[in-house]
């Protein structure tokens, strides 16, 4: 089965803009480069990955684009822009790079839940649409109704919910999450990444049955064409590993059709981000 990993990170701490990356996160408090990803996924065949920002800086985005230029299996980059300063011009400049696929403000770290709804951001979302760029929503369940309002304003926006919106799996949070994320399925431009759930579960939780209700609900609401797989490597190492998460995901997908599996593992990410997998 052809696999596109829709969500990975690479970083070099000496760059100095990863303020969230502190020594208490011992499993990931070091540099991670392309060679580390290749080693982590040993035996799990992928045809490419989407490299996602991990720092709120344009300079990190430029660093990621340099990596994409030099590493054949990096098929696209989701970067960061300052929505509050020179955003449209920055988007227009970055969009000239074919590896630049979209942006991800770190909404989960912003105090005001409805920050993304500021009226002055309308031109940014209009520019994303006009340049065929995407929006990764790094959110928590508290943001889901806000994202619905954003989509009402900008129905042509192509948006993906990262990490299933991070429901509190360890506490069994499901019903309110299910209702809120289900409403977003009404917008055809909204996709979801099945990723990041292990860091919301009890550490080391590898029973597929724990994650099955979440994936089942996503398929019931979004269908098979708008759910994509991601490893969230190396952040996944905080609770488990690339290998264990991929095995859990394989178990959950075992009984679905080949066509559905193909969409989940690669096709949906390829179409959403407009990835070139020809080389």
Reported as a pLDDT band with limits 50, 70 and 90, residue 278 is: confident
Q: How far apart are CA 230 and CA 50, in angstroms?
A: 9
pTM: 0.97
| SS3 readout for the chain | CCCEEEEECCECHHHCCCCCCCCCCCCCCCCECHHHHHHHCCCCCCCEEEEECCCCCHHHHHHHHHHHHHCCCEEEEEECCCCCCCHHHHHHHHCCCCCEEEECCCHHHCCCCCHHHCHHHHHHHHHHHHCCCEEEECCCHHHHHHHHHHHHHCCCCEEEEHHHHCCCHHHCCCHHHHHHHHHHCCCCCEEEEECCCHHHCCCCCCCHHHHHHHHHHHHHHHCCCCEEECCCECHHHHCCCHHHHHHHHHHHCCCCCHHHHHHHHHHHHHHHHCCCCCC
Q: Is the pLDDT of residue 210 over 90?
A: yes
Q: Are 235 and 199 in contact, with CB atoms under 8 Å apart? A: yes
* The pairing of beta strand 74-79 with beta strand 48-52: parallel
| End-to-end CA, the chain | 17
Predicted local confidence at residue 151, as pLDDT: 98
Reported as a pLDDT band with limits 50, 70 and 90, residue 222 is: very high
Q: Is the pLDDT of residue 127 over 90?
A: yes
Q: pLDDT > 90: what percent of the chain?
A: 96
User: 9-20: per-residue pLDDT in tens?
Assistant: 999 999 999 999
- Per the prediction, the chain carries an average pLDDT of 97
What is the largest distance, in Å, between two alpha-carbon atoms of the chain? 48
Predicted local confidence at residue 251, as pLDDT: 97
User: 227-237: per-residue pLDDT in tens?
Assistant: 999 999 999 99
Reported as a pLDDT band with limits 50, 70 and 90, residue 2 is: confident
Predicted local confidence at residue 113, as pLDDT: 98
Q: What is the mean pLDDT of the segment spanning 114-143?
A: 98
Q: Are 133 and 166 in contact, with CB atoms under 8 Å apart? A: no
User: 240-272: per-residue pLDDT in tens?
Assistant: 999 999 999 999 999 999 999 999 999 999 999
Burial class (CB in 10 A: 0-12, 13-18, 19+), 89: exposed
Q: What is the mean pLDDT of the segment spanning 119-136?
A: 98
- Per the CATH hierarchy, to which homologous superfamily does domain 4-273 belong? Metal-dependent hydrolases (3.20.20.140)
Q: Are 189 and 147 in contact, with CB atoms under 8 Å apart? A: no
Q: Are 202 and 211 in contact, with CB atoms under 8 Å apart? A: no
* The pairing of beta strand 158-161 with beta strand 100-103: unpaired
Domain boundaries, the chain: 4-273
Predicted local confidence at residue 72, as pLDDT: 97
Predicted local confidence at residue 204, as pLDDT: 87
Place of tokens 């190396």: 234
Residue 172 CB neighbour total at 10 angstroms: 10
Predicted local confidence at residue 28, as pLDDT: 98
Q: What is the mean pLDDT of the segment spanning 86-97?
A: 98
């Amino acid at each position: 089965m052809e696999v596109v990993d829709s969500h990975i990170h690479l970083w070099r701490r000496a760059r100095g803009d990863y303020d969230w990356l502190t020594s208490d996160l011992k499993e990931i408090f070091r540099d991670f480069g392309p060679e580390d990803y290749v080693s982590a996924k040993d035996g799990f065949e992928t045809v490419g990955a989407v490299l996602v920002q991990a720092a709120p800086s344009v300079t990190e985005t430029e660093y990621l684009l340099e990596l994409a230029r030099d590493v054949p299996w990096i098929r696209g980059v989701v970067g960061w822009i300052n929505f509050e300063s020179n955003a449209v011009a920055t988007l227009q400049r970055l969009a000239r790079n074919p590896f630049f696929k979209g942006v991800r403000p770190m909404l989960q770290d912003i105090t005001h839940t409805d920050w993304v709804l500021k009226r002055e951001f309308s031109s940014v979302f209009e520019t994303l649409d006009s340049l065929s760029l995407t929006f990764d929503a790094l959110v928590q369940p508290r943001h889901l109704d806000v994202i619905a309002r954003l989509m009402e304003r900008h129905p042509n926006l192509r948006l993906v919910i990262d990490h299933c919106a991070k429901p509190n799996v360890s506490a069994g949070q499901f019903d309110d999450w299910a209702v809120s994320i289900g409403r977003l399925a009404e917008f055809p431009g909204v996709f979801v990444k099945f990723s990041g759930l292990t860091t919301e579960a009890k550490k080391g939780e590898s029973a597929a049955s724990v994650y099955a209700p979440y994936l089942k609900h996503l398929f019931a609401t979004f269908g098979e064409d708008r759910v994509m797989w991601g490893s969230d490597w190396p952040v996944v190492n905080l609770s488990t590993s690339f290998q264990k998460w991929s095995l859990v995901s394989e178990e959950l997908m075992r009984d679905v059709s080949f066509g559905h599996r193909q969409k989940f593992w690669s096709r949906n990410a390829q179409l959403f981000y407009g990835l070139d997998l020809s080389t």
